[in-house]
Chains A and B, each alone.
Chain A
Amino acid sequence: MKFLSLPFVVRNLEYSVCPWTGDLLVVERECKKNQVTSSLPEKVKIALALCDNPYRLKKSEGNMNTELIQVKWVKFTKKILTFFCSLNFLLARKYSDIKGIYFSDSASAINFFYSITPSYQINKLCLARALFAAKTSSAFDKEGVIFIGAFLPSRSMHAWVIEKGSQPDARDEIWHQYRPIAAIY
């Protein structure tokens, strides 16, 4: 999966995501213009337009067909991915590059992720959840994008998926507060 930086400049401060560590970078810049969306890959452009206009998003209804799931392996994948996310952003990205399709779409993958995650951990694992969806959803390659956003001017960051014209994580109630500053697709 490719990493695309979407730096955003406001009041001479440029906000971006470090592709190696995943940290929020804030750099002073004088009058640098924001990226023109027409130069972006089509899939990212479409997904970004939906982030900008959340009322255009379709409702997602993830189904979790447990018969198709090799639960043991999926749980193992989730565990490894969560561990890598806590260790290193680049490592987690590279691990999620190795596809292991278990779900038809990200909504199903995310539902499964929730079902095996203790509730106290849910808020912390947005990146692991998004990368897990990208790794295990068959629809992601064609129509999915992970966005990493910042809630400015705070330093708070968040990751979420846009896939097939919808935001597949019905339990994520905060994603729309965050301005996308990087995409993984």
Chain B
Amino acid sequence: MREMKSGINTARSLQYTNFLMRLEQANLSFFNTKSGLLQANIWSELDSGCWKTAQFKIHETNTLNGVLNRANMVSLLPDFVPLEAGQRWNHLEKRIEEKLLQPKLLKSGLEDFLCKSKAFFEKFHNKHIAVQLSGGVDSSLIIGLLKFFGIKHSLIGYYNRRYEFRTESYIQNILADDCGDAILINYEDHLPYSGLLNAPPHQYPDMTCCGLSANQAMASACHDAGIEILLTGCGGDLALGEKIDNEKCMWIPAIFNYSWFQDVVYTPNKVTLVSFFSDTDILECLWNLRMGQKFDPKKIWARNFFQSFLPRELVEYTYKADFWGLYIDGLVNSLPEIRFIHKRAYEFSENSYFEDAKLHRMLQSDLYNCDQQLYQRLEARISSAVWINSLASHSCS
């Protein structure tokens, strides 16, 4: 097992900011409400200063509504509606349409699931595959399946020595030792909200940018190790834990692939981020396997059904570490940088949304109180400021 030390990414991020001057965000397009046309990007409009019309309060409301409700989000740019992977513009109804999973009712069993999983992995034949090792059920299942099929793979994950993560660390160590080819990055060096000044210019604010540093470190480590496909367990909470009934399926496979990180961080490092649970065949199979099940947040069904692919500990126990400690420390440590970015956003935009007093008022709250709404509102504000900074630093007028 190799451990990555801090600062591994700094050189790379500095190196590629120039190259990213006009980053191609393949997973993002725009509908121009004035012309009624779709646009692959809005770089020239941003250059002409359309970002100055942004209404940041809207971004805050969108963030509070959550990613599952993204089709109902209102654009913060009056003339452009962002369309992310899995979305299209409905010209008749003049609204965003989400590509939902439309599962057929089938009789499924473990054999079917294994068949679909094998077909999924075969898509990456001859590629260097790695799995994002978290120590939880979702990624452990992917690792168990790869082992079952005898498919060569590496593991790459974040580690930390925090008390609440001792159960995750335990599983990480078991799987890393078993695999023999594992890279572990110290999460303490890349806490949430850190390194935001390194954000490459992007066309639309996205609150996932708060995890930029950790993803840059992972993308860079993947690049250095020659990893081409990075499999994640993102979406497992929904696919293995959500209530399933006969009503319409509301799963949006595209949201499991973190398109912002793909475009901004992984693509420049020649890495493709793929969630196992974004595969529609696998999702359809799981939907049918779990038909009629209630909300199962501990994934009891999955732990039992897939027990032969999981470490014993994950079958018998249901511990799951809470990330609040990392978020609190990340925010508190990054306050000087956040204040700086916020101040610069005000200087560049002269938008009253970024007045010092507004951030100051939010930061007066108890940041140690695990208040989700406060953190979401802060993330919306931070991601807006990061967006302005990234554009302004690369001379969008």
Residue of B nearest to A180 (CB): B163
Q: 0/1 per residue, B49-84, Cβ < 8 Å to A?
A: 000000000000000000000000000000000000
Tally of chain A residues near chain B (CB < 8 A): 18
Contact B369 A151 (CB under 8 A): no
Contact B325 A55 (CB under 8 A): no
Summed over the interface, the residue pairs from A and B with CB atoms below 8 Å come to a total of 47
B322, A177: Cβ atoms closer than 8 Å: yes
A-B contact pairs, 17 of them (CB 8 A): A52-B166, A54-B166, A54-B319, A55-B167, A55-B170, A57-B317, A153-B325, A153-B329, A153-B368, A154-B370, A155-B369, A156-B370, A177-B163, A177-B321, A177-B322, A178-B163, A179-B164
What sequence of 0s and 1s flags, for each residue 145-166 of chain B, a beta carbon within 8 Å of any chain A beta carbon?
0000000000000000001101
Using CB atoms, name the residue of chain A closest to B312: A55
The distance in angstroms between the C-alpha atoms of A64 and B319, with both chains bound, is: 26
Q: How far is the CA of A171 from the CA of B385 in the complex (A)?
A: 42
Residues of A13-34 at the interface with B, using a CB-CB cut-off of 8 Å, are none
**Beyond A151-B324, A153-B325, A154-B369, 13 additional pairs, beta carbon < 8 A:** A55-B170, A55-B313, A152-B325, A153-B328, A154-B324, A155-B368, A176-B164, A176-B319, A177-B163, A177-B322, A178-B163, A178-B164, A179-B163
Closest B-chain residue to A155, C-beta based? B368
A62 to B375, CA, bound (A): 39
Q: How far is A43 from B187 in the complex, measured between Cα atoms in Å?
A: 35
Q: Chain B residues with Cβ under 8 A from A55's Cβ?
A: 167, 170, 313, 317
Closest-by-CB residue of B relative to A149 is B163
Given contacts A176-B319, A177-B322, contact A154 B166 (CB under 8 A): no
Shortest distance between the CB of A11 and any CB in chain B (Å): 9
Interface 0/1 of B360-397, CB less than 8 Å to A: 00000000111000000000000000000000000000
Q: How far is the CB of A177 from chain B (nearest CB, A)?
A: 4
Shortest A12–chain B CB gap in Å is: 14
Q: Which residues of A contact B (CB under 8 A)?
A: 52-55, 57, 59, 151-156, 173-174, 176-179
How long is the Cα–Cα vector from A155 to B325 in the complex, in angstroms? 10
Q: Tell whether, in the assembled complex, residue B317 and residue A54 are in contact, meaning their CB atoms are under 8 Å apart.
A: yes
- B368 in contact with A154 (CB, 8 Å): yes
Inter-chain CA distance A177–B164, complex, in Å, is 4
Q: How far, in whole Å, are A14 and B166 apart by their CA atoms in the complex?
A: 21
B187-245 contacts to A (CB < 8 Å): none
| Residue among B163, B167, B298 with most chain A CB within 10 A | B163
- CB-CB under 8 A for A151 and B325, given A54-B167, A55-B167: yes
Beta-carbon nearest neighbor of A176 in chain B: B319
A165 to chain B, nearest CB (A): 14
Which of the listed residues A59, A152, A154, A156 has the most CB atoms from chain B within 10 Å of its own CB? A154
Could you say which residues of chain A place their CB within 8 Å of the CB of B166?
A: 52-54
A59 to B29 alpha-carbon distance, docked (Å): 52
Smallest distance from the beta carbon of A159 to chain B beta carbons, Å?
A: 16
Q: How far is the CA of A173 from the CA of B298 in the complex (A)?
A: 10
A-B CB proximity, top 8 nearest? A179-B163, A177-B164, A177-B322, A55-B313, A154-B368, A176-B319, A154-B370, A153-B328
- When chains A and B are docked, how far (Å) is the Cα of A153 from the Cα of B369? 9
**How far is the CB of A18 from the nearest CB of chain B, in Å?**
18
What residues of A have a CB within 8 angstroms of the CB of B319 in the complex? Answer: 54, 176
Contacts of B368 in A (CB 8 A): 153-155
